[in-house]
């Protein structure tokens, strides 16, 4: 996945400071649930006769993302536009050595790990 303008500098609209593109951080993203796909059309018998309905699947996923603050901002911006990701919550986690290794193996581009 190639994200356009990944390292292009950007100012924070709130603080008017440049978003950091040096320090590697790890964040946990908890996505809002969304409905997708359908298992199949089903039928149910009740007092009023037979009722047909479609049973949908629901997703609610957690991801660890590794990168700089600017890269994570650009990554979320891209995932929102292309895949309709919406955050329910996010928080920083403790960065460990194996996370840095994954980031370096990925040519210093953000890494998404499904939890």
Number of independent structural domains in the chain: 1
CA distance 38 to 15: 44
Total-model pTM: 0.76
Q: Are strands 49-59 and 34-46 parallel, antiparallel or unpaired?
A: antiparallel
* DSSP bridge partners of 31: 87
Amino acid 94: pLDDT: 94
Instruction: Tell me, yes or no, whether 77 lies in a domain.
Output: yes
Amino acid 70: pLDDT: 95
Under-50 pLDDT residues of the chain:
none
Amino acid 83: pLDDT: 84
Instruction: Tell me, yes or no, whether 110 lies in a domain.
Output: yes
Amino acid 5: pLDDT: 86
Instruction: Tell me, yes or no, whether 54 lies in a domain.
Output: no
DSSP state of 3: P
CA distance 60 to 32: 6
Residue 66 sits in which domain range? 24-34+60-114
Instruction: Tell me, yes or no, whether 76 lies in a domain.
Output: yes
Two tokens at 28?
Answer: 């946990």
Instruction: Tell me, yes or no, whether 70 lies in a domain.
Output: yes
Instruction: Tell me, yes or no, whether 19 lies in a domain.
Output: no
């Amino acid at each position: 996945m190639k994200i356009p303008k990944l390292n292009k500098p950007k100012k924070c609209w709130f603080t008017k400071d440049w978003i950091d593109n040096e320090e590697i951080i790890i964040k946990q993203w908890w996505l809002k649930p969304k409905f997708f796909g359908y298992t199949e059309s089903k039928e149910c018998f009740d007092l009023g006769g037979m009722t047909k309905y479609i049973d949908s699947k629901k997703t609610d996923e957690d991801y660890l993302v590794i990168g700089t603050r600017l890269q994570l901002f650009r990554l979320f911006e891209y995932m929102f536009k292309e895949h309709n990701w919406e955050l329910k919550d996010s928080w920083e986690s403790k960065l460990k050595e194996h996370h840095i290794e994954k980031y370096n193996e990925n040519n210093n581009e953000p890494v998404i790990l499904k939890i």
